[in-house]
Structure 1
Amino acid sequence: MIETVFRTEDLPQADRFDAWCERAAQSHAPVAISSAHSADFRGFQQVVRLNAVPAYAAGWQPAVVRRTPRLIRQSDPERYRLSFIQRGTVGITINGRETTYGPYGLFSHTTSIPYELHIGTRGDQVEANSVEVPREVLSLAGAQADHVIGRPLRGRDGTGALLATFLTTLTATAGTFTAADAARLEKVLLDLVAAVFAHELDALNHLSPETHRRTLTLRIRAFIRQHLHDPDLTPTMIAAAHHISVSYLHRLFQPEQDTVTMYIRHQRLERIRRDLADPAQHTVPLHHIAARWGFVHQATFTRAFRATYGMAPRDYRQEALPREEAERRELRERRSRRPERGRPRTG
């Protein structure tokens, strides 16, 4: 896994816009960029490269980006790009369709089809997370994926939301992963991209069985995390919500060396452990915290917590609070020593 960061503010003012254009060509494909802010352009790009698939976090001042037929003939790496907007607005014209996206918008384009992007359609700064996938590594046939390009995608819910959350977390926590994690993370990312395309086509049957299984498992895990507070969260309830049998649900979790019930319990205990270490919640009764995360019976909760963490919840809270405060102080000190990453500012 390789992470690189580029900031125009690290360069002399006169070089910033040209450097940004060159960066865009190197990381994506040759494009023509114009901007009213070219005299002092502010942009930020973080690249997290997972073998063949790069993920991006970027911030732009308003600009227009064009990928023309001439530029495509000049060079075409044949890549698909999906972008999730965190802030600002982006307009895209592709395949004869004009669409404007705001926060939580998810849109796609490809290096093989002409397009025009208006970054910051309202004169606003734009922040987004993106992934770029080579055509040859996508598990969905290129002819099928091309039908999705330019169509509005859903980034607030469903598989689109899973992809958006994964991208945001991946770029935000890139420093915590090792080179050995790259292949596993890339596989998950490719599965999510393929699932987003397939969902738009309403043709999940076009996915390979393995990709469909992994994508369904990711959806189920996200569903579990969203419903941990519900004491009725059981394998039967989860299977019914996803229109599968309980036996198939259990088979989905077998490769993970985990059972559905164990996963639910572990996620609940992790949330409780986090709350017990939170100084802001030091006066909240233990049974209230346990009930918040789906443990109805105090004795069951205490036994499960002790078996997992080797001590009673009350003892853990007493030890964790001073340690948590010390770790927060250390983290603040490290951040104060680290150069600020910086985001685009109005010039």
Structure 2
Amino acid sequence: MYSWNTAAPIASVGAWGEAFTSLHGAGRISVPDPAAPWAGSLDWQRSATYALALCSGGQEVVRRDRRHIRSDPRGTYELLVPLAGTAWVEQGPSSAEIRRGSMVLCDIDRPLAFAHDADFLSIAFIMREQDVAARSLAVTRKPVTLDSSIGLGRVVRQVVATLQEEREQFSATTFDIACDRLLDLVCLAAEGGTDSAPSGQRARVEASIRRYVREHACDADLDGTRIARALGWSTRYIQQVLQASDTTSRDLIRRERLQLARSRLASRSWAATSISQIAHACGFGSHAAFTTAFRQQFGRTPTDVRNDALHPRRTSPSKAEPSTGSGEGDALG
């Protein structure tokens, strides 16, 4: 179920810690004066797969170490998109200063430190590690800093802001479809600076493979051999490129077909077409095989997605009650 929360002031450090860690995972939050009034807010939206959180608060340092990760593993990545102010992110040997015009992509299940001043305002795009890895292993190895003032980075920032602003217009299905495309852009932007590296050619070949599969996903005879022949590479090289991203041509074709089927199930223009017909049109040989694969991929049945899209029932949960807490201590979410 897709849900959202309209921002409201959070007046205590304890309540802030609970709200913050429920979205981002357990960590240690430190503030300059634990006894002082706290002024912060969280405005979030989320489905079972993705989340966006608009965050503002006072000066703080957040540390997520191995103990926190063991107690509260998330299996997620976050793209932090500053709108105002300055923040600092440190993970392993890498560190970055980010402000409006830059973004950083981090693995939440690796120890990290995050600090910002009182005027910091940002949106966090939260995504599953498995979905990031399915698109690009290159961006899973260390924090990636992106320029959000030009090119794909600017497009990413604009899409993130628009999704946050228009949260009430989405169902679970349409939100996930939009976020799938956003994640595609994030990975492309993250790899954009590697074209001069030895892996640059492989990244370009992989992008060509993914584009070809997306354009021809419904073709019944689509397989690794046809992809290789169409792109002018050997089948073995295609296999090596995809293996480096922890996938295969079969898995890639299956995932693109499922995403296309989900988009059609969510479209009113396909409402008169049966689920079996959509499955067949998207390259699946049987309704049963399609339903099984669909549930494994999205955690929902095709019927659930169709009903959600045609008869959305979106709800905004009530605000959590404020609670008290210290200004420096563990927030285990």
TM-score, reference length from structure 2: 0.56
Partner in structure 2 of residue 189 of structure 1:
182
The separation in 2 between residues aligned to 1:96 and 1:183, in whole angstroms, is 33
Partner in structure 2 of residue 131 of structure 1:
125
Task: Specify which of 58, 62, 67 is matched with residue 59 of structure 2.
Answer: 62
One-letter amino acid matched to 1:167 = V
Query: Is it true that 1:172 corresponds to 2:165 in the alignment?
Result: yes
Are residues 67 and 174 of structure 1, via their aligned partners in 2, closer, same or farther at CA, if it must alter by over 3 Å?
A: same
8 Å CA contact retained: 1:72, 1:113: yes
5 Å-filtered alignment, 1:238-277, equals none
Partner in structure 2 of residue 199 of structure 1:
192
8 Å CA contact retained: 1:194, 1:207: no
8 Å CA contact retained: 2:40, 2:57: yes
The separation in 1 between residues aligned to 2:78 and 2:106, in whole angstroms, is 5
One-letter amino acid matched to 1:129 = I
Partner in structure 2 of residue 42 of structure 1:
39
Are residues 79 and 207 of structure 1, via their aligned partners in 2, closer, same or farther at CA, if it must alter by over 3 Å?
A: farther
The separation in 2 between residues aligned to 1:47 and 1:156, in whole angstroms, is 24
Partner in structure 1 of residue 6 of structure 2:
5
Identical columns (%): 18
Are residues 51 and 74 of structure 1, via their aligned partners in 2, closer, same or farther at CA, if it must alter by over 3 Å?
A: closer
SS of 1:107's partner is strand
- CA deviation digits over 1:254-278, x for unaligned, max 9? x9xxxxxxxxxxxxxxxxxxxxxxx
C-alpha deviation, 1:27, in angstroms: 0.8
One-letter amino acid matched to 2:147 = R
Partner in structure 2 of residue 311 of structure 1:
none
The separation in 1 between residues aligned to 2:102 and 2:114, in whole angstroms, is 14
Gaps of 5+ in 1: 215-254, 256-347
The separation in 1 between residues aligned to 2:147 and 2:212, in whole angstroms, is 19
The separation in 1 between residues aligned to 2:60 and 2:187, in whole angstroms, is 29
More helix by share: 1
Partner in structure 2 of residue 90 of structure 1:
87
The separation in 2 between residues aligned to 1:135 and 1:208, in whole angstroms, is 23
Partner in structure 2 of residue 161 of structure 1:
154
The separation in 2 between residues aligned to 1:91 and 1:85, in whole angstroms, is 11
Are residues 204 and 28 of structure 1, via their aligned partners in 2, closer, same or farther at CA, if it must alter by over 3 Å?
A: farther
Are residues 97 and 178 of structure 1, via their aligned partners in 2, closer, same or farther at CA, if it must alter by over 3 Å?
A: closer
C-alpha deviation, 1:201, in angstroms: 3.9
One-letter amino acid matched to 1:44 = S
C-alpha deviation, 1:117, in angstroms: 0.9
SS of 2:6's partner is strand
Partner in structure 2 of residue 267 of structure 1:
none
Are residues 94 and 212 of structure 1, via their aligned partners in 2, closer, same or farther at CA, if it must alter by over 3 Å?
A: farther
SS of 1:125's partner is coil
C-alpha deviation, 1:140, in angstroms: 4.1
C-alpha deviation, 1:207, in angstroms: 4.2
One-letter amino acid matched to 2:164 = T
Are residues 178 and 151 of structure 1, via their aligned partners in 2, closer, same or farther at CA, if it must alter by over 3 Å?
A: closer
8 Å CA contact retained: 2:76, 2:109: yes
- CA deviation digits over 1:72-111, x for unaligned, max 9? 2222212111111110000111121232112222012211
8 Å CA contact retained: 1:54, 1:133: yes
Partner in structure 2 of residue 334 of structure 1:
none
SS of 1:24's partner is helix
The separation in 2 between residues aligned to 1:98 and 1:210, in whole angstroms, is 31
The separation in 2 between residues aligned to 1:144 and 1:7, in whole angstroms, is 38
One-letter amino acid matched to 1:160 = G
The answer to which structure, 1 or 2, has the higher relative contact order (CA under 8 A, 6+ apart) is 2
Query: Is it true that 1:75 corresponds to 2:63 in the alignment?
Result: no
One-letter amino acid matched to 1:138 = V
The separation in 1 between residues aligned to 2:103 and 2:14, in whole angstroms, is 28
Are residues 41 and 48 of structure 1, via their aligned partners in 2, closer, same or farther at CA, if it must alter by over 3 Å?
A: same
Gaps of 5+ in 2: 196-202, 215-259, 261-333
Cα RMSD after superposing both structures: 2.6
C-alpha deviation, 1:186, in angstroms: 2.4
